């Protein structure tokens, strides 16, 4: 294991985050605060409790997930796309590093960033609504697992993308709608029966449901199913990345 | 070859579009030499370097670097190699110090600020160490790329067109850097457009054309072998025409009639110089000076790549 290389990539990526602290932390925090103001304080006070949780508190796990997913994908995609775009990727490809080490470096840094952001948003939320976390360890585990899984997904996007448009397309057209429709703002049993079935094909449903369970002990789907589905998605991402490095897809001609 | 630090055997590369970039290349690079790889654009220089450095997968054949297969044993092979790419591909927002330190870590070496300091000083980058790369000139960026390639103390250094777009002064500086590297035992392989560069620096020269190595030779030997020499005679009195008695020598007379030029092959059994001078005396032609001139490597190179294979 080339630990020096992992550390070099990781530190390099983290430095990039600190250099752009304003845009990488402040803007997601502000948008989350706006959600709390609108849905928590303004509209939320007129919405009934959901599963015995006040609406303002109910949306906290979903909002954290929304930021976590978007930031994980964006961070990791940008992290690997940018060196491809500028050409500096040559150095990583000519270095004595295995793809496992490259992925740990880039994905680890992206996951760390979005994890940090998730925790900041959680702290911000605590200022606006009364929070309780019934299963803190599970909550952290869900955060970490989701951050890693979606950073892997972002890494794939960053390799697949051949322009900045595609890089933004996936978070915009896939992640955001899936998260909004994945029960961030409602419990899926509020939906008509037909849409309840359809929504089960949305992988984000399982993430949000499991994550919300770690807060309030209630969930749309069984927490075991949530963990399993996250694991499946993680395995798919790892499989695709393994294939990318084996074939050199978009990396080596 | 026992002292070969790089052994390329029967290497081929066909790109997915069907373009055959390398057609069975065999090449041995000796430890500690400066090897210049010359060839026209599209000849396969960069493809060859890219395969050795791990940027391009070979179609078939084998490359050993420091005795390690560059595909199967890539860790050992690559940690011995430093690459300075042709394009000025650098980070923009990082400082010189950060990017060079990053390279060292990437190649699996523990931090060593003293070593980085030595490199930056040797490349006149020390005063720029805290400058962001985007604020540097093109020549300075080139130096940063060299510093990155040297950060992990490689035994083999590839310089792909190192002085393209670099001013004359900086080019001289880089040649000095490369020579100093050789003194420390580093093997240097450079591709270049500037024949002058190969002529100035290289111990051996390889010429690649159409994906094949058509020649590998000691530079001095190459110039001797392929070199045409010219004997120039500065006459005491002008001639109207070359005398008939000297027609066999194929002499050229300058327009003012004061200079006679005789071309001969240094490889020839007889150069004919003694006889020519005898015949000149016979014809009553006296000269006040004479000089001989070797073809430059450029002239040799142009004649090589132009001739049909």
At B176-200, the pLDDT tens digits run: 888 888 999 999 999 886 777 788 8
Question: Has residue B212 got a pLDDT over 80?
Answer: yes
Task: Assess contact for B11 and B48: CB atoms under 8 A.
Answer: yes
Closest CA in chain B for residue A2: B108
Cα–Cα distance between A88 and A99 in angstroms, integer?
16
In a domain, A185, yes or no: yes
Verify whether the Cβ–Cβ distance A16 to B93 is below 8 Å: yes
Residue B52 has which token pair?
């050795």
In a domain, A252, yes or no: no
DSSP alpha helix (H) spans, chain A: 3-19, 21, 27-35, 55-86, 89-94, 99-128, 136-160, 164-170, 176-179, 193-199, 203-216, 223-247
Return the pLDDT at A229: 92
Helix axes A27-35, A99-128, angle to 10 degrees: 40
Q: Distance from B160 to chain A by nearest Cα, in Å?
A: 13
In a domain, A17, yes or no: yes
Return the pLDDT at B244: 86
* Backbone phi, psi, residue B90, to 5°: -130, 160
Verify whether the Cβ–Cβ distance B54 to A2 is below 8 Å: no
In a domain, A93, yes or no: yes
Q: Distance from A133 to chain B by nearest Cα, in Å?
A: 40
Return the pLDDT at B2: 58
User: Partners of B232 in the beta sheet?
Assistant: B261, B291
Question: Has residue B309 got a pLDDT over 60?
Answer: no
**Percentage above 90 pLDDT, chain B:** 50
Q: Distance from A236 to chain B by nearest Cα, in Å?
A: 26
Please calculate the CA angle A177-A180-A185 and round it to the nearest 5 degrees: 170
Window from A80-94, B32-46, B52-66, B216-230 with minimum mean pLDDT: B216-230
Residue B16 has which token pair?
């997915």
Q: Is the Cβ of B309 closer than 8 Å to some Cβ of chain A?
A: no
Question: Has residue A194 got a pLDDT over 70?
Answer: yes
User: Partners of B7 in the beta sheet?
Assistant: B28, B64
Query: Which band of pLDDT confidence, cut at 50, 70 and 90, is reported for residue B156?
Result: very high
Question: Has residue B55 got a pLDDT over 80?
Answer: yes
Closest CA in chain A for residue B94: A16
Residue among A20, A75, A90, A6 nearest B93 (CA):
A20
In a domain, A253, yes or no: no
Cα–Cα distance between B113 and B118 in angstroms, integer?
9
Could you list the residue range(s) of the whole structural domain that residue A214 is in? Answer: 3-44+52-247
Question: Has residue B308 got a pLDDT over 70?
Answer: no
Verify whether the Cβ–Cβ distance B102 to A2 is below 8 Å: no
**Percentage above 70 pLDDT, chain A:** 100
Q: For residue B78, list chain A residues with Cβ-Cβ distance below 8 A.
A: 94-96
Task: Assess contact for B228 and B295: CB atoms under 8 A.
Answer: yes
User: How many helices (H) and strands (E) in chain B?
Assistant: 10, 14
Give the three-class secondary structure for B146.
helix
Residues 6+ apart with CB under 8 A from A84: A158, A159, A250, A251
Q: Is the Cβ of B76 closer than 8 Å to some Cβ of chain A?
A: yes
Return the pLDDT at A80: 94
Closest CA in chain B for residue A102: B106
CA dihedral (A4, A10, A12, A17) in degrees, to 10, reads -160
The structural domain count of chain A equals 1
Q: For residue A98, list chain B residues with Cβ-Cβ distance below 8 A.
A: 75
* Backbone phi, psi, residue B26, to 5°: -120, 130
Question: Has residue B165 got a pLDDT over 80?
Answer: no
Verify whether the Cβ–Cβ distance A88 to B108 is below 8 Å: no
DSSP secondary structure of A10-48: HHHHHHHHHHTHIIIIIHHHHHHHHHIIIIIIITGGGSP
Mutate one of B47, B51, B106, B189 to test the A interface: name it (highest A CB count within 10 A).
Answer: B106
In a domain, A223, yes or no: yes
Return the pLDDT at B101: 96
Verify whether the Cβ–Cβ distance B79 to A248 is below 8 Å: no
Q: For residue B83, list chain A residues with Cβ-Cβ distance below 8 A.
A: 90-91, 94
Task: Assess contact for A44 and A54: CB atoms under 8 A.
Answer: yes
Residue A188 vs residue A103, higher pLDDT:
A103
Q: For residue B148, list chain A residues with Cβ-Cβ distance below 8 A.
A: 91
């Amino acid at each position: 294991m080339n630990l020096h290389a992992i550390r070099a990539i990781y530190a390099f990526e983290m430095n990039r985050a600190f250099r752009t602290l304003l845009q990488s932390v402040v803007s997601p925090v502000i948008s989350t605060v706006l959600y709390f103001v609108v849905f928590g304080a303004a509209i939320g006070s007129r919405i009934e409790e959901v599963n015995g949780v006040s609406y303002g508190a109910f949306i906290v796990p979903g909002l954290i997930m929304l930021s976590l997913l978007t930031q994980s994908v964006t961070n990791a995609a940008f992290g690997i796309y940018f060196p491809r775009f500028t050409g500096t990727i040559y150095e990583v490809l000519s270095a004595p590093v295995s793809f496992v080490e490259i992925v740990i470096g880039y994905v680890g840094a992206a996951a760390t960033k979005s994890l940090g952001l998730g925790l900041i948003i959680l702290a911000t939320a605590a200022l606006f609504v009364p929070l309780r976390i019934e299963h803190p360890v599970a909550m952290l585990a869900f955060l970490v697992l989701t951050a890693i899984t979606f950073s892997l997904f972002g890494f794939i996007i960053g390799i697949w993308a051949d322009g900045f448009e595609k890089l933004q397309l996936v978070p915009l057209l896939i992640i955001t709608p899936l998260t909004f429709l994945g029960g961030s703002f409602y419990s899926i049993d509020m939906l008509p029966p037909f849409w309840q079935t359809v929504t089960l094909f949305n992988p984000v449903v399982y993430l949000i449901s499991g994550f919300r369970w770690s807060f309030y002990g209630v969930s749309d789907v069984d927490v075991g199913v949530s963990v399993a589905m996250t694991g499946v998605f993680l395995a798919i991402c790892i499989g695709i990345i393994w294939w990318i490095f084996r074939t050199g897809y978009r990396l080596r001609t | 070859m026992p002292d070969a630090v790089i052994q390329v055997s029967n290497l081929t590369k066909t790109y997915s579009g069907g373009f055959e970039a390398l057609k069975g290349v065999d090449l041995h690079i000796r430890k500690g030499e400066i090897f210049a790889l010359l060839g026209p654009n599209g000849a396969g220089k960069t493809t060859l370097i890219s395969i050795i450095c791990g940027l391009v997968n070979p179609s078939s054949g084998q490359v050993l670097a420091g005795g390690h297969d560059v595909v199967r044993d890539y860790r050992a092979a690559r940690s011995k190699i430093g690459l300075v790419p042709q394009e000025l591909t650098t980070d923009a927002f990082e400082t010189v110090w950060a990017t060079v330190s990053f390279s060292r870590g990437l190649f699996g070496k523990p931090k060593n600020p003293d070593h980085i300091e030595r490199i930056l000083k040797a490349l006149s980058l020390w005063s720029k160490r805290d400058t962001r790369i985007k604020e540097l000139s093109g020549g300075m960026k080139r130096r940063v790329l060299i510093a990155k390639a040297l950060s992990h103390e490689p035994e083999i250094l590839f310089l792909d067109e190192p002085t393209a777009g670099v001013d004359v002064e900086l080019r001289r500086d880089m040649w000095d850097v490369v020579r100093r590297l050789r003194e420390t035992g580093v093997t240097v392989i450079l591709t270049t457009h500037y024949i002058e560069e190969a002529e100035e620096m290289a111990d051996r020269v390889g010429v690649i054309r159409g994906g094949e190595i058509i020649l590998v030779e000691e530079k001095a030997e190459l110039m001797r072998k392929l070199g045409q020499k010219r004997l120039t005679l500065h006459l005491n009195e002008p001639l109207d025409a070359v005398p008939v008695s000297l027609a066999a020598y194929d002499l050229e007379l300058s327009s003012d009639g004061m200079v006679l030029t005789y071309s001969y092959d240094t490889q020839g059994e007889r150069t004919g110089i003694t006889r020519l001078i005898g015949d000149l005396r016979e014809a009553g032609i006296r000269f006040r000076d004479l000089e001989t001139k070797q073809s430059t490597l450029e002239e040799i190179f142009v004649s090589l790549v132009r001739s049909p294979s």
